[in-house]
Amino acid sequence: QVQLVQSGAEVKKPGASVKVSCKTSGYTFNSFYIHWLRQAPGQGLEWMGIINPYNGDTRHAQKLQGRITMTRDTSTATVYMELKSLKSEDTAVYFCARDRTVVLAATEYYFGFWGQGTQLTVST
Amino acid sequence: QSALTQPASVSGSPGQSISISCTGTNNDIGTYNFVSWYQQRPGTAPQLLIYQVVNRPSGVPDRFSGSKSAYAASLTISGLQAEDEADYYCASYTRNNTPIFGGGTKLTVV
């Protein structure tokens, strides 16, 4: 069965960086887009970015320009999301999610399988 | 870009039907049939309920259905059950080739 397992909770100081991992299994890693989303406390969902595991191409939300980097390791079927220059507003649960769409087609942004979430707390 | 508009809360009794609306603009729902709905129980990750406006992934009960008219989409849950109590989010593809979410609706089964 499809599984996405994320790394554990993080506590960081403002200005620091964090790198969250998402290890996938149960399907062909290169075949489906992976997205990163986050949810601030008591708030709704926010899309952060997408990576194509086949070729490593990425796109991200404009508001995160210059701060987000997404990468993948095909040997371990793992994707990573690094967020730099952390602010208190980045405190949230971070999710990776697998698209329903294969990478041969354009994504329609359907998040069919989710990781369990990674709590990031940014505080002095 | 502003979030899609959902009611903050809805409620219903077991066995009843409820609908949750999701209103957008011509930059998203009004132009594209790429609408999805998610259920999120407290402390867990969201689960995809509906995609492409009306389609259900395998394993999602047919009590859940989706529709769209003009700039608004709707999620209907029929035969309400206690386990349906959760937060529900709509989402849509946008003209910017990014997704946008609604603010979420808390469903209470009374």
Query: Chain A contact for B13, CB < 8 A?
Result: no
Residue B108: other Cβ atoms inside 10 A: 12
For range B83-102, the mean pLDDT = 97
Structure tokens at B6: 């959902």
> Is the pLDDT assigned to residue B1 strictly greater than 80?
no
Beta bridge partners of A45: A39
A91-97 mean pLDDT: 98
Residue with the bigger pLDDT between A106 and A115: it is: A115
> In whole numbers, what is the pLDDT of chain B averaged over residues?
97
CB A52: neighbour CB atoms within 10 A?
A: 18
Residue B93 has what pLDDT?
A: 97
Q: Which residues of B touch A109 (CB under 8 A)?
A: 34, 36, 91, 93, 98-99
pLDDT in tens, B44-55: 999 999 999 999
- What is the average per-residue pLDDT within B38-65? 97
Mean pLDDT of B8-15: 98
**Cα–Cα distance for residue pair B46/A48, rounded to 1 Å:** 16
- Averaged pLDDT, A88-94: 98
Mean residue pLDDT across chain A: 97
Is a pLDDT exceeding 90 seen at residue A74? yes
Cβ-Cβ contacts under 8 Å between A and B: the total is 54
CA atoms within a 13 Å half-sphere pointing along the CA-CB vector of A22: 30
* Residue type at A46 in one-letter notation: E
Are the beta carbons of B46 and A117 separated by less than 8 Å?
no
pLDDT, residue B35, reads 98
Task: Give mean pLDDT, residues B29-52.
Answer: 97
pLDDT over threshold 90, residue B2? no
CA distance A13 to chain B (A): 24
- Look at A45 and B3 and tell me if their CB atoms are within 8 Å: no
pLDDT in tens, A50-73: 999 999 999 999 999 999 999 999
pLDDT at B15 over 80: yes
pLDDT digits (tens, 9 = 90+) for A12-51: 999 999 999 999 999 999 999 999 999 999 999 999 999 9
pLDDT score recorded for residue B10: 98
Both tokens assigned to A49? 């970015």
pLDDT for position B45: 98
Interface contact flag, A44 B89, Cβ < 8 Å = yes
Over range B92-103, report the average pLDDT.
97
For residue B100, which residues of chain A lie inside 8 Å, CB to CB? 47
A95 vs chain B: nearest CA distance in angstroms? Answer: 8
Residue B52 CA to residue B49 CA, distance in Å, equals 11
User: How far, in Å, are A24, A82, A110, A111 from residue A68 at the CA level?
Assistant: 20, 6, 21, 20
**Residue B63 CB partners (closer than 8 Å, separation 6+):** B77, B78, B79, B81
Confidence of residue A119 (pLDDT cuts 50, 70, 90): very high
- What residues 22-81 of chain B have any CB closer than 8 A to a CB of chain A? 34, 36, 38, 45-48, 51-52, 57
Percent with pLDDT over 90 in chain A: 95
